[in-house]
Amino acid sequence: MRIATWNVNSIRTREDRVLLWLDEHEPDVLLMQETKVVDENFPREGFEERGYTLALHGQRTYNGVAIASKLPIEDLETGFPLADDEDARGIAATIAGIRVGGLYVPNGRRLDADHYQYKLRWLDALHVWLRETGDPAAPLILAGDFNIAPDDRDVHDPAEWQDTVMNSDEVRARLQTLLGWGLTDALRTVSDEGGIFTWWDYRAGAFRFNKGLRIDLMLVTDPVRDRIEAVTTDRNDRKVRKGVEKPSDHIPVTLELRD
DNA sequence: ATGCCGTCTGGTAGACGA
């Protein structure tokens, strides 16, 4: 089974690129973030032609999360983990016996912004959601754009990025709390290397200089960890390509599991 | 670096992203 997560930064702008990627990689499940479109305007056709069923939790202009799956989607839940969240940032379903959550964690903007306090509240609520609805002994994948670089290996230049909303002690501690509940950062089961990034700023030639961060994560419980065959990222997915010129600023992360 | 680039909007400049 192959399951991927991708912050597509607008599904309407990225449709051709996402569909091409699906044709090339044929994942069973793709979790998408920042779809930036209300559900009735989601470009469904290309996904459905390829045999994917869609589950949508969209929103105008900002945020928006979605699941595309070739396998049946059961027990859909949206609008978590914060009960009164005005932003569409969480979608979960059971697919092939695995509880799969697709998340778009708030960015935080600046350490002194209200939005950063919202990010911390959101992460606290995610821990509560795990405790109340989850089971560390059951198959679970929590994946998406966490807007947290887990440690300095995941930051191209830790000095340049010191004390930002992506790597503050507070957000890293909250990630550790999630891991402490019973999750493993899937990428770290296959590599200890630094410099594996999933996001590069559009600005200032960040990709050209490989000034990236690893902020798109797949966290898994032990029953899933024991099935990991591979966790892959591909820098080429950040490049301009003929026919699909415009890349997202994020690349997909793919988790391959043994049956 | 207030900047850069890209996306969105009852838009055409400003908000937001990370």
Work out the pLDDT band at A244, boundaries 50, 70, 90: confident
Q: Give the closest residue to B6 (Cα–C1′).
A: A202
Percent share of chain A, pLDDT over 70: 100
Mean pLDDT of the region A29-51: 97
Distance A140 CA to B11 C1' (A): 42
Determine if strand B comes within 7 Å of the CB of A236. Answer: no
A205 phi-psi bin (left φ>0, alpha ψ -120 to 50, beta other): left
Give chain A residues 125-154 with Cβ within 7 A of strand B.
Answer: 145, 147
Kindly report, residue by residue over A50-106, the tens digit of the pLDDT.
Answer: 999 999 999 999 999 999 999 999 999 999 999 889 999 999 999 999 999 999 999
Nearest by Cα to A52 from A29, A32, A20, A34? A29
Give chain A residues 104-123 with Cβ within 7 A of strand B.
Answer: 106-110, 115
Judged by DSSP in three states, A151 sits in: coil
Percent share of chain A, pLDDT over 90: 96
Q: Rounded mean pLDDT of chain A?
A: 96
Model pLDDT, residue A222? 98
Q: Determine the Cα–Cα distance for residues A173 and A141; give it in Å rounded to an integer.
A: 20
Q: Is the torsion defined by CA of A242, A196, A215, A133 positive or negative?
A: positive
> Token digits for A128?
């509560």
> Token digits for A91?
């979608």
- Residue A256: CB atoms within 10 Å: 16
Mean pLDDT of the region A165-194: 97
Mean pLDDT of the region A226-241: 96
Mean pLDDT of the region A17-31: 97
Model pLDDT, residue A245? 85
Determine if strand B comes within 7 Å of the CB of A213. Answer: yes
Determine if strand B comes within 7 Å of the CB of A202. Answer: yes
Phi, psi at A117, each rounded to 5° = -65, -40
Per the CB < 8 A criterion, the answer to whether A27 and A36 are in contact is no
Phi, psi at A235, each rounded to 5° = -55, -25
Kindly report, residue by residue over A205-219, the tens digit of the pLDDT.
Answer: 999 999 999 999 999
Query: What residue has token string 């044709």?
Result: A23
| Nucleotides of strand B under 7 angstroms from a protein beta carbon | 3-10, 16-18
Per the CB < 8 A criterion, the answer to whether A101 and A94 are in contact is no
Q: Would the pLDDT of A28 be above 90?
A: yes
Q: Determine the Cα–Cα distance for residues A26 and A21; give it in Å rounded to an integer.
A: 8
Q: Determine the Cα–Cα distance for residues A176 and A171; give it in Å rounded to an integer.
A: 9
* pTM recorded for the entire structure: 0.97
